[in-house]
Copies of this chain bind each other. A is one copy, B any other.
């Protein structure tokens, strides 16, 4: 039984409730980090059934305004400063200055960056990686998998792959911290002068395991970035796959207009 409303075909009740809560978040009545009313409280307050209150909360979660934790409640998301990924980050002068790109960028955004190395060592190249490195699938390559944090929150997972014959002579690449300027600086130290990078950008929804490792709500959007590093000899000396929480990043690119 629907209660008599002014407009019979108005917006669904669950959207009205979501809208109401969204407004309170926007106005700061519910500040970031604050717990929003529980589902049973929403039932009482708006006089709706469990399923309806539930759907209102789901709507807010889908739009990224809140995150919910089983057994604890739903909380207003803090809007962290976005990290800008600039194409400038690959300039040789930056590498020479010993800057680590992710560090400088995160600090510029006013966040405390940190890294956790998940794995460094030999791996059999998956098909897509092998293709980009121009080696046979299953060939042994060096993999470096890292998880990046911004203010303690995981935001980005990156895996670099290097051909074994390139990596084997560069001991720093097997260390957790490859030293100032990162692995690109080490490659150039050992004669692999870099000429160009190519990047591809895709956006999609996170899979279940991805959502877990980046601690996202399932169904949150992610940016999937792939990068190939070309040496002056024209060889791909490194490829990198990066998965980012989409709401944390803006990617910047500069494109010359020339011929």
Contact = CB atoms under 8 A, between A and B. Distances in A.
A201 interface: yes
A219 interface: yes
A168 interface: no
Interface in A56-93: 62-64, 87, 90-93
A229 B257 CA distance: 9
A92 B257 contact: yes
| Range, interface on chain A | 35 or more
Given A92-B257, A93-B259, A257-B92, A247 B200 contact: no
Contacts of A230: 257
Given A196-B256, A219-B219, A221-B221, A201 B92 contact: no
Contact of A198 (B195, B201, B253): B253
Interface stretch (A35-43, A117-125, A140-148, A202-210): A202-210
Interface in A210-259: 219, 221-223, 229-230, 246-247, 249-259
Contacts of A252: 198-200
A257 B196 contact: yes
B258 A92 contact: yes
A194 interface: yes
A141 B204 CA distance: 34
14 contacts: A87-B253, A92-B259, A196-B254, A196-B257, A198-B253, A198-B254, A200-B251, A201-B250, A202-B246, A202-B249, A203-B221, A203-B223, A219-B219, A229-B257
Given A196-B257, A202-B250, 11 more contacts: A62-B219, A64-B205, A87-B255, A93-B259, A195-B256, A196-B254, A196-B255, A198-B254, A200-B251, A202-B249, A204-B247
* 5 residue pairs, one from A and one from B, having the closest CB atoms: A203-B203, A203-B246, A194-B257, A201-B251, A221-B221
